[in-house]
């Protein structure tokens, strides 16, 4: 049985809702911060991961609401292409197939590597190390983008199925705590010469079914918790959803002109600082 209090739920929910969309790793932060706050009884509980992943459901619902027009269009065009037995690259319906292909790698790896990956969630030091790795990955994405400035940026629907699969493979690195799902997807998108805005949009669209699927798979593990705990988790889903919606709106505006560099520097600094605290003060 897991004992949660209101403060823990509020902190974890807002943290998850913001950091899931910001390219700074939600799983990394939701492991590192409780470690720094010495909530050891929480992060070492077998139900901690199901609760954190369940909070993702609020985030995914917020993403569906925000991109509702795009999702309606995606679903309609996929159904139409199936009925017509035709797929037309470079069209709106093509984006739906890009999403389907892009979620395959993370889905497969999540299933086959579930046990070893879950073992990482009790180690804030590991998350701190990979947060630093995430920072350098974001800076590498900007390096790739800078190298291709002489080329015109590609539109999202110009990607091939192979391109989408590549983005999906890179996104699957986010199964490791400390590596950002949106950040890794954006870096892959920048490497394929998408604009920051389109790379972010594709990252958010691609992440929605992955986040939702993971959350729905983990929720049954929460059966048997007290009514109070389930009520707090429900509150957490609402808070994470609100935070995610606001974050999405801000980031899509930010990436019209902004880059990944500030987030990269933050991850490197925060990761090194956290690692230092874990290895010295909290050893």
Helix (H) or strand (E) run with residue 170 in it: helix 161-171
Please name the residues in contact with 21: beta carbons below 8 A apart, sequence gap of 6 or more: 59, 182, 204, 244, 247, 248, 251
- Tell me, what's the pLDDT at 149? 75
Whole-number pLDDT of residue 112: 74
Read off the pLDDT of residues 124-145 as tens digits, 9 standing for 90 and up. 899 999 999 999 999 999 998 8
pLDDT of residue 175: 86
Using one digit for the tens of pLDDT, what is the confidence trace for 163-220? 999 999 999 998 888 999 999 999 999 999 999 999 999 999 998 888 888 777 777 7
- Model confidence at 40, in pLDDT bands (50, 70, 90)? low
pLDDT computed for residue 115 by the predictor: 65
Q: Output the pTM of the full model.
A: 0.89
Please, are residues 184 and 173 in contact by the beta-carbon 8 Å criterion? yes
Q: What is the mean pLDDT of the chain?
A: 87
Sign of the dihedral through C-alpha 201, 131, 176, 148: positive
* Rounded mean pLDDT, 9-34: 91
Q: In this predicted structure, what is the pLDDT of residue 226?
A: 78
- Burial string for 147-179 (b: 16+ CB within 10 Å, else e) reads eeeeeebbebeebeeebbbbbbbbbbbbbbbbb
| Rounded distance between C-alpha atoms, residue 65 and residue 252, angstroms | 15
Residue 3 has pLDDT above 80, yes or no: no
Structure confidence at residue 62 as a pLDDT band (50, 70, 90): very high
């Amino acid at each position: 049985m897991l004992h949660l209090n209101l403060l823990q739920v509020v902190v974890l929910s807002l943290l998850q809702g913001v950091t899931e969309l910001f390219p700074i790793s939600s799983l990394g932060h939701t492991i590192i911060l409780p470690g720094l706050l010495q909530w050891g009884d929480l992060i070492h509980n077998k139900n901690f991961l199901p609760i954190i992943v369940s909070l993702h459901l609020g985030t995914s619902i917020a993403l569906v609401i925000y991109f509702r027009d795009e999702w309606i269009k995606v679903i309609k065009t996929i159904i139409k292409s199936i009925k017509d037995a035709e797929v037309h690259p470079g069209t709106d319906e093509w984006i739906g197939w890009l999403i389907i292909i892009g979620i395959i790698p993370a889905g497969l790896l999540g299933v086959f590597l579930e046990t070893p990956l879950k073992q990482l969630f009790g180690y804030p030091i590991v998350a701190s190390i990979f947060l630093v790795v995430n920072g350098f990955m974001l800076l590498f994405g900007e390096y790739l983008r800078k190298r291709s400035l002489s080329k015109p940026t590609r539109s999202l629907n110009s990607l091939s199925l192979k391109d989408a699969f590549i983005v999906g493979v890179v996104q699957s690195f986010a199964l490791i705590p400390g590596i950002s799902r949106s950040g890794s997807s954006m870096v892959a998108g920048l490497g394929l010469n998408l604009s920051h805005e389109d790379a972010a949009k594709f990252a958010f669209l691609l992440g929605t079914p992955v986040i939702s699927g993971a959350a729905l798979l983990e929720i049954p593990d929460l059966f048997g918790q007290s009514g109070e705990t389930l009520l707090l988790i429900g509150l957490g889903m609402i808070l994470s959803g609100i935070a995610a919606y606001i974050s999405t709106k801000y980031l899509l505006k930010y990436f019209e002109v902004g880059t990944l560099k500030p987030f990269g520097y933050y991850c490197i600094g925060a990761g090194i600082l956290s690692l230092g605290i874990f290895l010295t003060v909290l050893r």
